A and B are shown apart, each in its own frame.
Chain A
């Protein structure tokens, strides 16, 4: 498969990249690892006139601890995140999600964490070759007015299958976006727009600079289900965070279910139902995971990998496993 034609620009600094983005905006796309962007370009889903490569921007690749935050540069390769002791210790959900992203040779050295959370939503009616798509009317995501995944739907129902986004949302992370002369930080919960066509609130002239994870002394875990253990995107995934108090009661919990909706789903009501429960309370975990399944099932459509019924049922299993793992590591830390 050949790539379509484009002009290649290689800015030497973040400022220069922002200037280029403000000039070219909609016509330009950012290239970091290319494991998502180039595939979409090869399939003709995207035809940017200009590619702005981040190859020279080494300053966007770092993992550091500042005060009570972990800061990760957007261009940090996924391999570096897995290798980081800080992330393995303090943000286990992110480390696990990175370990399960793609396959070793794809993910490790080219794929970046910024690219992972900014990857476009997917749907097996849309992520097809140009030839396949030419045989039928365009869907919402392709610029048309039909949804093949849900009959008579007036909007796109594509699914966000990012591993990193689910884990980072569970960790209550925020992202810093920069554009010419401006900078803003936005929580991931608000960053994802729940819109299948434009899944996140990033403007065309903005650049993702940094991911910020608050350290709260909490334990996190991430579990996912995919058709093959390597290479494939998740068909269901869950990231959870549990913060126990001194009496081993849950003070704060966050449950996020991924690959079920247009963006990762933060289940606020189910999460708060865990507050005050004992960290050993398996029944409460079971109840919460069943409630997660009920909440998440409302958003899902049959448009990726396995059947919808199976995916919905597996939400509860993934959430339960993640809750158990997080609770186990909290108990271990206590001892």
Chain B
């Protein structure tokens, strides 16, 4: 099968890769470009650990062909931090203990990041709905929801921070 040379715009940088038609975006990210932040878990669009953003919208990279991602702005979890400086959302995940084994975290971050861009101060219901497609088997959802609420609005929606004050 012939590989095709494609250019992907990932985290604001152009990458030229050779991809076969049956390569998913996730395979290209992990195997060709060594961007191993996005994880493969179920491989069938259920768990959400492979979530990346295409044109600012969260999508499953395990169910997106690499060829279909041409011409889109792709953002992976590696694009969240600015060099060594973590984003507010990432800091908030750490501060709230929202990371246990960490396998679901890249997907959670990408879904949450897309939500916060659209709605900077989401309430708990909105956060839970936006993260409904991301599964955490350590079952730490409460901490994850708090972390996202805190990143959106540190004072109003974060029960942990309220009690500290």
Decide if A and B are genuine partners: yes
Contact surface of A with B, Cβ cutoff 8 Å:
1-8, 10, 31, 34-35, 38-39, 42-43, 51, 53, 55, 79, 102-106, 108-110, 229-231
Residues of A within 8 A of B48 (CB): 103, 105
Contact surface of B with A, Cβ cutoff 8 Å:
1, 20-24, 27, 43-46, 48, 51, 54, 57-60, 62-65, 67-68, 111, 129-130, 132-135
Min C-beta distance of B130 to chain A, whole Å: 6
Count A-B pairs with CB separation below 8 Å.
Answer: 87
**Cα distance, A3 to B133, chains bound together (Å):** 22
Pairwise interchain contact A103-B132, C-beta atoms closer than 8 A:
yes
Residues of B within 8 A of A102 (CB): 45, 133
Taking a contact as CB atoms closer than 8 A, the residue among B67, B111, B132 that contacts A231 in the complex is B132
Q: Across the A-B interface, give the 5 residue pairs with the lowest CB-CB distance, nearest first.
A: A103-B133, A230-B132, A8-B21, A1-B43, A3-B22
**Cα distance, A194 to B132, chains bound together (Å):** 33
Residues of B within 8 A of A230 (CB): 129, 132-133
Pairwise interchain contact B44-A8, C-beta atoms closer than 8 A:
no
Min C-beta distance of A229 to chain B, whole Å: 7
Taking a contact as CB atoms closer than 8 A, the residue among A31, A43, A79, A103 that contacts B65 in the complex is A31
**Cα distance, A8 to B69, chains bound together (Å):** 13
**Cα distance, A103 to B63, chains bound together (Å):** 14
**Cα distance, A230 to B134, chains bound together (Å):** 10
Pairwise interchain contact A7-B21, C-beta atoms closer than 8 A:
yes
Pairwise interchain contact A39-B130, C-beta atoms closer than 8 A:
no
Pairwise interchain contact B60-A106, C-beta atoms closer than 8 A:
yes
Pairwise interchain contact A105-B21, C-beta atoms closer than 8 A:
no
Taking a contact as CB atoms closer than 8 A, the residue among B21, B23, B45, B67 that contacts A39 in the complex is B45
Pairwise interchain contact A8-B111, C-beta atoms closer than 8 A:
no
Pairwise interchain contact A231-B133, C-beta atoms closer than 8 A:
yes
**Cα distance, A3 to B44, chains bound together (Å):** 11
Min C-beta distance of B116 to chain A, whole Å: 14
